[in-house]
Structures are given as structure tokens and as C-alpha cells.
Amino acid sequence: MSRFFITTPIYYVNAKPHLGHAYTTIVADSLARFHRLCGDETFFLTGTDEHGDKIVQAAEKAASTPQQYVDTVSAQFRDLWPELGVTNDDFIRTTEPRHRQVVQAVLQKVYDAGDIYLKNYEGLYCYGCEQFLTEKDLDADGCCPDHKVPPARISEANYFFRMSKYQGWLKEHILANPDFIRPERYRNEVLSMLDMGVLDDLCISRPKSRLTWGIELPFDTGYVTYVWFDALINYITALGWPDGELFARFWEHTDHLVAKDILKPHAVFWPTMLRAAGLPVYRHLNVHGYWLVKDTKMSKSLGNVVEPLALKDRYGLDAFRYFLLREMRFGRDASFSEDALVGRLNADLANDLGNLFSRVLAMTHKYFGGQVPDPGARTAPADPALGELARNALDNYAALFGRLEFGQALESLWELVRALNKYVDASAPWTLFKEGRTGELAGVMYTLLEMMRKVALCVWPVMPATAEAMTAQLGGRFDLARVDLDAEIRGFGGLEPGTVLAAGSNLFPRVEPPREEAAPRPAAKAKEKAREKAQPAKAAPAAQQTPGVIDFADFQKLDLRVGTVLAAEPHPDADRLFVVQVDLGEETPRQVVAGLREFFQAEDLLGRQVVVVANLAPRPLRGKTSHGMILAVRREGGMELLTASGPVAPGAKVS
């Protein structure tokens, strides 16, 4: 059995969690779920980093002790993850006794090997970075490039780690292992860093005269450990180094996941620390970019921090998770906006995925009584070309996801989703049913349902609740222990004929982004009122109307929406009327009484998309109440339904 150990950075608790933290953790969770789906034994670690100068400063600002402060903020992180569907196996805090013991053991080991030494040092110290900087680290104005303030000059005795000793080894290791740091752009950045000159030794202590909030050095109690030398060790603490069973099973299968702002500590400090301690290095360092808001990195001081829970509550957890992985190309920066999130939700989830499930389940109920039909042989799809497309799409999805190319992986999966929607239109099940071609119809419907089952399995790492709901609608239960992803990609026929399906599906109703209307400024409002008061009242001129022409305002009163016909039954008391149930993306189907019976059979309507006047007042028609009107066009000898040129999500507004 393969193994997989995925870690997030342990988040610094000087501020509450935001979109950036949520993205990293949801990516890690999706990777953990993906590897579980592949049958890998998986361990997923996250946690909080709780020592250092900035914690003391934040605690003082909050009128709290450092311990009280970190307890509060760490709990915010711990409590957030279940709300975002995160399934971590451990949550580590650097203030825990187990971590202090491991940090001190590693320090002693490296000290005993001669790679930690004491020296007097005068240097430029950035309190924001909590580390000494060199002149070459500063920007053109002599400031820290991250915090935009000049560093303080400090002179003191400190302990240093002989990091420069391992520069040659680190470069050779990176060159010999091309996927050690990925994407490649960050590998090249680290190699460039190493080629620029001699790697400096790392100051790994802070005198207690300046800072007491930290882990004491085991060989000198007058000092505490530099926060990075402390924090990075969490990854082996959680596995029970040195003798823990988890360490023996998982350490060689480690994938770290970090944002690009902490590339150097993870790509330079951490591997050289491990080498000095005589430990093997991790397998992969995976580095992602920033989420930008209006092309600017999120910052509390700028007031552009995005709250993940607000988005989850407004648009749904799975839509939020899908957007994060679909929108950002891993390794590069991405722009966040609610409009983009709503666009993805409506296009990919409502129009494509939701519409597919809605129409196929409705047709199966009409044609086969809501049970999976028996296609005869279940060895291949009814359409060989669709089968080949599905194998390629699923194969690409798995390969790309494993390489952290999440957006491309989901696009591959959506190639199949879109192809299935097109297959519905091309195979025209309503025509097969009308012509009595039952065997062919069974093959078409079985192919659609079986492919939908595969899609449900594959989206589980990103949208777990949706995947489980789709599986339930297809008459099954999501059971991770029974999933064989490779077999699902290559095989066909896992859906049992006779399985009872859900009557309908409304996975992703369309949504509208919140629109903030600019309130008129008080001064302008007062001027307008004064102007109106000063002017004499005038009689409104009679509107000049052209016969048969309406004002645009009258047209705007119409609420025209596209819906999918779920059921159509003859009206019991009217020969020309159908009682139609239409999915308009609402909680329950809309009942519309339509005068279409003279021109259509009930089966002709099933699964069709129609345009409905959705804001008509309810009207009783022969004992059945109609909540709208289905639009149609008369032609010589018959009638045609008004519809969209292609599949759209139930409830899509005509504008």
C-alpha cells in the first residue's frame, strides 16, 4: 500500500484565519481525500505556530497574556476547519509539551554534532520577520521588502546554526530531484538564491533579556529558540519522532504545502536542519501563490481580507471549495471576486453538473419508473466515442490532480460532464421512447447514469457533500473503503440495473451576486429635495404611445425563466391541458397548467427545457392552479416550444 503525508504550514496566530489560510487547508484536504480515494494510507496534519515577538505584541495589544492569546486564536483555526469540510488527522500547537520536547531533542542533537555555536553579532533585525537581515535582503530604500520599514540595528550574543555548511549538499539534492520543489518556478528561485553567494549561517536564538515567550535552548537556559527553528520541527513532532510508529510509516512520504511567502524557510532552513540532525528530507515542497483582491495581496491594514465562513454560508461549502481549486492555477497568483465565484457556480455547477443530474433523473423516472434500466451487456457504453472520451477525461483528471494541477484536472472532468449533456441532446431519449426503441433507450440511459456515478466519485475530494448527495440520488451510498479509482477509470458497468433512483435533483440552484447600491450622499440628497420643493408642481404630459408598443419598464416587469420539465400529466378535466411540473431552480417544482395537449404527447415534454413566465399571479384552471405560463410559438400545422439554444441551469433568467 502506498502512503501519503500531507502538511499545511502551521499558521501563525497573530491574526484570525482568512481566505489564504482557508485555501491552503482546503487544498491539503482535497489532496488527502484524493489519495484516500486512490487507496493510499494517508495522514493529514495542520496546526498553529504560537511563539515569537509578534505573539507577545499581539497579546499586549489585546490586553492578554501570550498563553491566553494563543489559546483563543488557535481555537479559531481549529474550529474553522470542520466548517470547511477539512478532515485533518492531527492538529498540532507549538506550545504543547510534546513539541517542546522534540524541539529540544533536535537542538541538542545538532549542538552535539558541532553545528550550533555562540558568537557576538551585530546586525539588522526586522521585528516583523523576527529575523536578522543582510544588506542584500533590503529593498532600494533600505527597508524590509515585506514590512516596508527599516530594520533595527541590534548587537548581542546569539547561537547560530551552521547552515552554510550544507549549501553545496542542498543544491546537489535539488538538482538531482527535479520535483523536490514544485512548481518548477520556485525550484528555480531557490537555485538562484543558492547561486547568488555563500549561504549565511542562521541565528537560532533570542536572549531572554529581550524575549521569554519561546522554547528554551536545552544547552543554555538564558535563551529561547528562534521561532522558525521551533516551528518547522512540528512536522516530525506530530509523527512521534524519533521512535513513533507514524514517523516510521509516513516521514519518507511527506508532501509539505506552503504559500510562496515562506518558501525560503521551507526550502532552505528546513532541509539543512534535517540534514544536520541526520534525518532524511521530505519528498516534495509544494508552493502556491497569493489570492489577490483587486490585484492586491490581502492585508488586514488595507481592509481587503476575505472571510471564508461568510462565503461558505452565502454560496454553499462545496461551491466555495470548487471555486478555490478551479480558479487558481497552482503556483501562480489568482484574483478573488464574488462575481467570479458566482460565475463558476452558475456555469459549471448549476448549468453543467446540476442540469445533467436534473434532466437525466427526471427522464429515468418517466421512461423506466425511476429504476436503473438493464442495457443487456454492461461491458461498454452505448456510444464508443463517448466511452473513449470518458476514459481520457477521467485518466487526465487523476494524473493532473496528483500533480497538483487542480484547475486543469477539474477542467478535464468537466469535459466529460459537458459531453454527457450533449449526449442527452444528440441521443434524444424522448424520441427513442416515442418510437418504442426501448432497448436502445435503456442503453442510452444506463450509459448516462453510469457515467454520472463516475463523476460523483471523482468530485469527492473537492466537493465531498455533493459527491455523496449525487451518489445517493443514483441509489447508492458513498463508501470510501469500496472505491477503486483506477478500476473506475478503466472499467464500466458498476451501476446495478433495478437500483431505485431519486425522483429529482436540485444540486446547485442559480444564485445572484450581492449588489451594493450606492446611497446618495446626504448633501446631494438635501439639494435635490430643496430643488423639488422650490419648483411649482407641473402636470405630467400625456404619454405618446404607438399602438401595439410597450414601454421598456413594462417589459422589465416580466420574469422569464428557463426550466426543465420533470413531469407532464393530462389534466383530468380538460382535454387540451397538461399539468406540468417544471424545475425552476426553486426548492420545489413549479406547477404550470399549459394548453399544449393538442400538439404534444406528455413524453415529448419530459426533460425538455422551456421558457416560463414565472411571475404571473396564480390562476385556477379547471380545478388545478397554474403558477406561470410556458411560452410556445404557433406554426403552420403545429406548435414549437420556446427554449434556449443550449442547456442552461434550471431557473436561468431570460434577459
Measured CA to CA, the distance from residue 85 to residue 26 in angstroms comes to 8
All three cell numbers of 119, joined, read: 558568537
Q: Which of the four pLDDT bands, split at 50, 70 and 90, describes residue 525?
A: very low
Instruction: Give dist(CA 373, CA 379) in Å, integer.
Output: 15
Mean pLDDT of 474-492: 93
Residues 34 and 147 occupy one common structural domain: yes
Enter the C-alpha cell of residue 23: 485555501
Lowest mean pLDDT among 67-76, 83-92, 496-505, 551-560: 551-560
How buried is residue 96: exposed, middle or buried, by Cβ count under 10 Å (0-12/13-18/19+)?
Answer: middle
Ramachandran class of 490: left when φ > 0, alpha when ψ lies in -120 to 50, beta otherwise: alpha
Please indicate, yes or no, whether residues 78 and 149 belong to a single structural domain of this protein.
yes
Q: Does residue 207 sit within a domain?
A: yes
State the pLDDT at residue 541: 44
Compute the mean pLDDT over every residue in the chain, rounded to the nearest whole number: 90
Q: Is residue 140 part of a domain?
A: yes
Same domain, 282 and 341: no
Please tell me whether residues 345 and 278 are part of one structural domain: no
Same structural domain for residues 454 and 593?
no
In the predicted structure, residue 253 carries a pLDDT above the cut 60: yes
267 and 343 fall within a common domain = no
From 220, 254, 288, the end of a domain falls on 288
Q: Which three cell numbers mark 436?
A: 418504442
Confidence of residue 638 (pLDDT cuts 50, 70, 90): low
Query: Does residue 54 fall inside a structural domain?
Result: yes
CA-CA distance, 287 to 298, in Å (whole number)? 18
Identify the pLDDT of residue 537: 45
How much is the pLDDT for 536? 46
SS3 label, residue 621: strand
Quick one: average pLDDT of 262-286? 98
| 137 and 276 both lie in a single domain | yes
109 near 277, Cβ under 8 Å?
yes
Looking at the structure, tell me whether residues 265 and 152 fall in a common domain: yes
The tally of domains found in the chain comes to 3
Q: In whole angstroms, give the CA distance from residue 229 to residue 270.
A: 8
At 164, give phi and psi (nearest 5°). -60, -25
Which residue intervals of 278-345 are DSSP H helices? Answer: 308-315, 317-327, 338-344
Task: Give pLDDT tens digits for 135-170.
Answer: 888 888 899 988 889 999 988 899 999 999 999 999
- pLDDT for the residue numbered 305: 73
Largest CA distance in the chain: 99
Q: In angstroms, rounded to a whole number, what is the distance separating the alpha carbons of residues 83 and 311? A: 12
CATH number for the domain that contains residue 572: 2.40.50.140
**How many angstroms from the chain centroid is the CA of residue 38?**
20
Is the domain of 460 the same as that of 590? no
In the block, residue with C-alpha cell 494563543 = 70
User: Is residue 464 domain-shared with residue 600, that is, in the same domain?
Assistant: no
Rounded CA gap, 33 and 29, in Å?
6
pLDDT over threshold 80, residue 543: no
35 is annotated as an active-site residue: no
Judge whether 72 and 34 are in contact, CB under 8 Å: no
> pLDDT category, 304, cuts 50, 70, 90?
low
The reply to whether 230 and 83 lie within a common domain is yes
Which residue type sits at 545?
Q
Close Cβ partners of 556 (under 8 Å, ≥ 6 residues apart): none
Residue 615 domain-assigned (yes or no): yes
Query: Domain boundary at 490, 511, 537, which?
Result: 490
Host H or E run for residue 576: none
Is the same domain home to 360 and 471?
A: yes
Q: Where are the beta strands (DSSP E) in 407-474?
A: none
pLDDT score of 518 more than 50: no
If one compares 185 and 377, the residue with the highest pLDDT of the two is: 185
Catalytic choice (126, 203, 365, 627): 126
18 catalytic? Reply is yes
324 within some domain: no
pTM for this predicted structure = 0.79
Q: Give the tens place of pLDDT for each residue, 198-252.
A: 899 999 999 999 899 999 999 999 999 999 999 999 999 999 999 999 999 999 9
Q: Does 21 qualify as catalytic in the annotation?
A: yes
DSSP one-letter code for 266: I
The reply to whether 297 belongs to the active site is yes
Q: Which of 264, 525, 491 is nearest to 381 (CA)?
A: 491
Query: Which one of 300, 525, 527, 653 is the catalytic residue?
Result: 300
> One of 61, 147, 434, 527 is an active-site residue; which one?
147
Task: Please indicate, yes or no, if residue 111 is contained in any of the structural domains.
Answer: yes
Chain segment 581-618, per-residue pLDDT in tens: 888 887 678 899 998 887 788 777 888 888 999 888 88
Is 99 among the residues known to form the active site?
no
487-505: pLDDT as tens digits: 999 999 999 999 999 988 8
Closest C-alpha to 66, from 245, 212, 261, 226: 212
Q: What's residue 319's pLDDT?
A: 97
Cα separation, 369 vs 444, in Å, equals 16
Nearest CA-CA partner of 70 in 53, 86, 55, 81: 55
Given the residues 129, 256, 366, 454, the one annotated as active site? 129
To the nearest whole percent, how much of the chain has pLDDT over 90? 68
Q: Which tens digit of pLDDT belongs to each residue from 372-406? A: 999 988 889 999 999 999 999 999 999 999 999 99
Q: Over 80: is that where the pLDDT of 84 sits?
A: yes
Active-site residue, from 144, 256, 288, 624: 144
Asked, for residue 27, whether it belongs to a domain, the answer is yes
pLDDT band at 434, cuts 50/70/90? very high
CATH number of residue 153's parent domain: 3.40.50.620
Position 637 scores a pLDDT of 56
Give the structural domain span for 179: 3-288
In a domain, 300, yes or no: no
Mean pLDDT of 280-297: 90
Q: In Å, what is the CA distance from 429 to each residue of 156, 445, 503, 568? A: 81, 8, 17, 16
Per-state percent for the chain, helix, strand, coil, to nearest 5: 45, 20, 40
User: What cell numbers appear for 631 in the block?
Assistant: 411560452
pLDDT for the residue numbered 194: 94
For the question of residue 147 being annotated catalytic, the response is yes
Res 550: pLDDT: 64
Contacts (Cβ under 8 Å, ≥6 apart) of 561: 584, 585, 611, 612, 614, 651, 652, 653, 654
Pull the grid cell for residue 575. Answer: 382535454
Single out the residue in 490, 505, 528 at which a domain terminates.
490
